[in-house]
Structure 1
Amino acid sequence: MQQRDESGGTEAQAKDVCLRLLTDRARSRHELEANLAKKGFTAEIANAVLDRLEKAKLVDDESFAQQWVQSRHKYSGKGKRALSMELRNKGVSNELALHALDTIDADDERQRAAELVRKRFRTLQMPDSSGPDARAERDKVVRRLVGMLARRGYSQGMAFAVVKEQLDSAGADTEGFDGPDSM
């Protein structure tokens, strides 16, 4: 029952490609479909192989989304917004993505953002709070930290609140600092 197409390969070859890809990390069905198409396998062969792999529980978008969210949040410090976009790019349905993102609550996200800010803050030079350009220098540090969080998918409001907390704990002058509108 090895179907062969003149432009692609057999089901066994497509299965081998998928299994090799799955040894590196879990993948979404969409990712595997794209890889098979890139290698010249027909949609018919790709669908047959992926359907069998789903039945064997080797391809499971729900499990993939859960693993992806937990791993990328914990190890890469990604916020919900960035994770949502990554899952969308990986072809995970909106429903499965929302379910996976619900495993990260607001406290977890805020705590991870605070860890990232503390780590980055240590490498930044905080100006002397009594110097003439202290406010401008503080604002520059704030922009860098907030920008770092924004690139990782954290909301602007959370980013400013976490940065303000870090500045307060470092003894920096935060008078007149109320978030994005104060800059």
Structure 2
Amino acid sequence: MQQRDEGGGTEAQAKDVCLRLLTDRARSRHELEASLAKKGFTTEIANAVLDRLEKAKLVDDESFAQQWVQSRHKYSGKGKRALSMELRNKGVSNELAVHALDLIDADDERQRAAELVRKRCRSLQLPDPNGPDARAERDKIVRKLVGMLARRGYSQGMAFAVVKEQLDRAGADTEDFDGPDSM
């Protein structure tokens, strides 16, 4: 079955490309299809190879999505919104993405957001609550922290709640802090 088309290479060559890519990390079928297309393999050869790799359980979008979500949430601190977008960009179906994202519950997501804020607070100078510009300085820090969480895919409501909670724990004055509307 070493069929060769004018457009690319053989099935064996396509399989080798896929296996090399899979040694780095798990990949979605869509990612492998895109890599094969970029290297000039025909759609027929790519589909034949990917179908065989799926039967051998070397390509499994469901498993990939679950691994991706767990890894990116734990090690990169990504929230569900960002993870959903990443999975969509990797070609994972909406159904599989939702199933994988369900592995992270609201408490896990909030806890991870709190860890990120605590870590970031260590490098920030919290304003003196009695200082002349205490509120302006605190609001500036809040914007930085909420922005950090937003870029990682956390909802605005959760971000403000977590930031307020962590600033309270750090001893910042948050009495007049009402959330996004007070900014």
**Which blocks of at least 5 consecutive residues in structure 2 are unaligned?**
none
TM-score in terms of structure 1 length: 0.99
1:60-105 Cα deviation digits (max 9, x unpaired): 0000000000000000000000000000000000000000000000
Shift of 1:171: 1.2
* SS of residue matched to 2:49: helix
Q: How many residues align?
A: 183
Shift of 1:24: 0.3
The equivalent of 1:127 in structure 2 is 127
**Which blocks of at least 5 consecutive residues in structure 1 are unaligned?**
none
Q: Which runs of 4+ in 1 moved over 6 A?
A: none
TM-score in terms of structure 2 length: 0.99
Tell me, in whole angstroms, the C-alpha distance in 2 between the residues paired with 1:103 and 1:167.
29
Shift of 1:178: 1.2
Shift of 1:54: 0.2
1:23-72 Cα deviation digits (max 9, x unpaired): 00000000000000000000000000000000000000000000000000
Shift of 1:17: 0.1
Shift of 1:3: 1.1
- CA-based RMSD of the aligned residues comes to 0.5
1:131-182 Cα deviation digits (max 9, x unpaired): 1110000000000000000000000000000000011111111021011001
Shift of 1:5: 0.7
* SS of residue matched to 1:18: helix
Q: Percent identity at matched positions?
A: 92
Tell me, in whole angstroms, the C-alpha distance in 2 between the residues paired with 1:31 and 1:19.
13
